[in-house]
Amino acid sequence: MKRKETLLNTLKLSDMDPDEIGENHISTSSDTPLRADAFDMDDATKIKKIEEHFREIMNVLGLDLNDDSLKGTPKRVAKMYVKEIFSGLDPKNFPDIQLFDNKYNYKEMLVEKDIQFYSNCEHHFVPIVGKAHVAYISSGQVIGLSKINRIVQHFAKRPQVQERLTVQIAQSLKKILNTEDVAVVIDAVHLCVSSRGIKDTSSATVTSHYSGVFKREEKKQEFWAYLNN
């Protein structure tokens, strides 16, 4: 047995303070943590409940909700949460995907790069802003280019950590395209780092997922060559 082990090997999440978990950017699963009853409530009810709770948050902060600029904020935030920035939580909002036969017999990698996305850190509920780069090699079928963007946006529109977002995009594409030959790289800025805490405005975070032929060094290098053009 090694005399020294890494922190992550010795540390139990159950023993950690919730703030410490968030500060150490620990992701507990490749699946978004959802309760079994997450979708029992319809969107209208969710919006109403969030509106009530957010109004109370604003009251606790001492804001005057009678002010013309603020009185509509609780409802605006509630609608934004359910219909926009967290709409990717609901499976019914997954984009409709249509596959096409690879009639061109194109057997090289297809790269869709610089896909701009906006997500939210699940530890502090502040924005993650970045770009996703996706590649795959067809196993017989291809996907419309815009659908790759829509898949990225779907998984971004939920409380996230970047590692999980990277894996979810890759796993979804592998399942849809019936191929292991998928690569995903994400380069993003986290406002939980730049606007609070350490307040580092110059750093960015890069995550990657390689499977199938993309595990080969020459394929990784070819993929990165496209990204650096």
Active-site residue identified among 133, 154, 192, 209:
192
Distance (Å, whole) CA 100 – CA 68: 52
Active site annotation includes 123: yes
In angstroms, the Cα distances linking 119 to 116, 128, 140, 161, 183 are: 10, 5, 32, 9, 20
Q: Which of these, 7, 81, 84, 2, lies nearest to 46 by C-alpha position?
A: 81
Q: What is the pLDDT of residue 229?
A: 86
pLDDT digits (tens, 9 = 90+) for 73-132: 999 999 999 999 999 999 999 999 999 999 999 999 999 999 999 999 999 999 999 999
| Sign of the alpha-carbon torsion through 155, 158, 163, 164 | negative
pLDDT at 67 over 80: yes
Asked if residue 135 lies in contact with residue 223, where contact means CB atoms within 8 angstroms, the answer is yes
Domain ranges of the chain: 37-85, 97-227
Catalytic residue among 121, 153, 168, 209: 121
Mean pLDDT of 214-227: 98
User: Residue 189 has what pLDDT?
Assistant: 96
Query: Is the pLDDT assigned to residue 50 strictly greater than 70?
Result: yes
Angle between helices 162-177 and 145-156 (to 10 degrees): 140
CATH number assigned to the domain with residue range 97-227, chosen from the 4 options 3.30.160.100, 3.30.110.70, 3.30.1130.10, 3.40.1180.10: 3.30.1130.10
Tokens encoding 138: 């067809």
Q: Is 84 a catalytic residue?
A: no
d(CA 165, CA 224): 20
Active site residue 192: yes
Q: Is the model's pLDDT at 22 over the cut of 70? A: no
Choice among 153, 160, 162, 168 that is catalytic? 162
Catalytic residue selected from 51, 153, 168, 190: 190
Residue 23: per-residue pLDDT: 59
**Strand partners for 209:** 184
pLDDT digits (tens, 9 = 90+) for 160-216: 999 999 999 999 999 999 999 999 999 999 999 989 988 888 899 999 999 999 999
For residue 200, what pLDDT is reported? 87
Are domains 37-85 and 97-227 of this chain identical in fold? no
Q: Note the pTM of the prediction, 2 decimals.
A: 0.88
Q: How confident is the model at residue 207, as a pLDDT?
A: 98
Q: In the annotation, is 121 catalytic?
A: yes
**Those residues with Cβ within 8 angstroms of residue 42's Cβ, 6 or more apart along the chain or in another chain:** none
Instruction: State mean pLDDT over 34-56.
Output: 97
Where is average pLDDT lowest: 6-10, 32-36, 52-56, 62-66?
Answer: 6-10
Of the candidates 23, 112, 122, 222, the residue annotated as catalytic is 122
What would the CATH number be for the domain defined by 37-85? 1.10.286.10
pLDDT exceeds 70 at position 18: no
Catalytic residue among 23, 25, 112, 124: 124
Q: From the candidates 51, 123, 133, 160, which is the catalytic residue?
A: 123
pLDDT for 204 equals 95
Predicted local confidence at residue 9, as pLDDT: 44
